[in-house]
Amino acid sequence: MSEQPLIYARGLVKRFGEFTAVDGIDLEVAPGEAFGFLGPNGAGKSSTMRMISCVSLPTAGELRILGMDPSRDGTTIRGRLGVCPQLDNLDPDLSVRENLTTYARYFGIPRAVARRRAEELLDFVQLADRAGSKVEPLSGGMKRRLTIARAMVNDPDIVLLDEPTTGLDPQARHLLWERLFQLKRRGTTLVLTTHYMDEAEQLCDRLVVMDGGRIVAQGSPRSLIETYSTPEVVELRFGDERPADVLGKLDGVGERVDPLPDRLLVYAADGDAATAEVHRRGLTPSSVLVRRSTLEDVFLHLTGRTLVD
């Protein structure tokens, strides 16, 4: 019974008129897992999330959330989910605390319990000192933390986060990641979408890479990197020469070379050795950077495009 997936999808499709946003995907999310959808804007991540959160019905395919059918038991399922949408939809004229207690009432939580939950959650997201203030003057990071606290007010079985850190500054992102990591340690099942590979690497046990409405790869961040990339990557920049012109001179360097508009990526097991080979061939790049491989490289390899444009 505990092995039953919380989210189960087979051949899931979402079409808007002529446009196919999600094109037949399969997935399973197990209890306690932190599961991610990685992909650029328009890959179909948000549409998938909206189907999982039971606010949009699939056009075709099978979907089971908590073992139930969204088209029939949407209300019951929503009662057991916590949703943190891409755009904050807090009530700007209510106080921070009222935003939580009001939302709790939508789940039928008694007033006293709602107040207690609100205090606990405000502590958790480090907003206890702002409990009485209005939402309007809060920073973007604070608002997002409040939205996450709100998503947890009904003690949900799954917390869904749609691009939780998009638009936040680096400090706010790290604080948010740290809180989400705490949630994960408590055993909360997290499902999130992101177009940041560092976010996916930090938070997700397992993820799927989406592109054009399809799943193009899946696995743990580490295994994806191992499968689709090399341990190291060398980034080469050449002053005046266009990367494509240099490409011919790099035949056989590393395992693979990808030209980008502004630089060349050399995939290699040993980055330093590859760099030495570049120099040995008489090439003089204006800058050289040897780094570990990331999901960005996986994505580039799978789709031929970078994640964040």
Partner 1 sequence: MAPLTTQVTARSTLAVLERNLTLYRRLWRASVFSSFVLPVLFLVGIGLGVGSHVGAIAGVDYVSWIVPGVLASTAFQLAVGESTYFVLSDFRWVRAYHAMRATPVQPADMVCGWLLYVLFRAEIAVVVFLAVTALFGALRSPWALVTPLVCGLVTLAAAAPTMAFSASIDHDSYFALLFRFVLIPSTLFTGVFFPVEQLPVVVRPLAYLSPLWHGVELERAATLGTTPPWPVAAHLGYLLVFTGAGVAWAVHAFRKRLQD
Closest listed residue to residue 141, CA positions, set 107, 105, 165: 165
Q: Residues of 234-269 as b/e, b for ≥16 C-beta within 10 angstroms?
A: bbbebeeeebeebeeebeebbeebbbeeebbbbbbe
Q: Which is nearer to partner 1, 41 or 220 (CB)?
A: 41
Minimum Å distance from CB 266 to partner 1? 44
How near is the Cβ of 236 to partner 1 at its closest, in Å? 45
Residue 52 CB, nearest approach to partner 1 (Å): 11
Q: Least distance from C-beta 135 to partner 1, angstroms?
A: 10
Q: Which residue, 86 or 306, has its beta carbon nearer to partner 1?
A: 86
Closer residue to partner 1 in complex, CB, 117/206: 117
Contact residues toward partner 1 (CB under 8 A) are 16, 50, 53, 55-56, 75-76, 78-79, 81, 83, 85, 87, 89-94, 98, 102-103, 105-108, 154
Report in angstroms how near the CB of residue 56 gets to partner 1 at its nearest. Answer: 5
Helix (H, G, I), strand (E, B) or coil at 178: helix
- Please report which helix (H) or strand (E) contains residue 15, including its range: strand 7-16
For partner 1, the closer of residues 43 and 253 by Cβ is 43
Quote the least distance from Cβ 256 to partner 1, whole Å.
41
Task: Give 96 or 266: the residue with its C-beta nearer to partner 1.
Answer: 96
C-beta of 74 vs 219, nearer to partner 1: 74
Question: What is the closest distance, in whole angstroms, from the C-beta atom of residue 84 to partner 1 in the complex?
Answer: 9
Cβ-based nearer residue to partner 1, 102 or 306: 102
Least CB distance to partner 1 at residue 83 (A) = 4
What does DSSP assign to residue 38?
E
Cβ-based nearer residue to partner 1, 55 or 290: 55
Listed in sequence order, the residues at least 6 apart from 174 whose beta carbon sits closer than 8 Å to its beta carbon are none
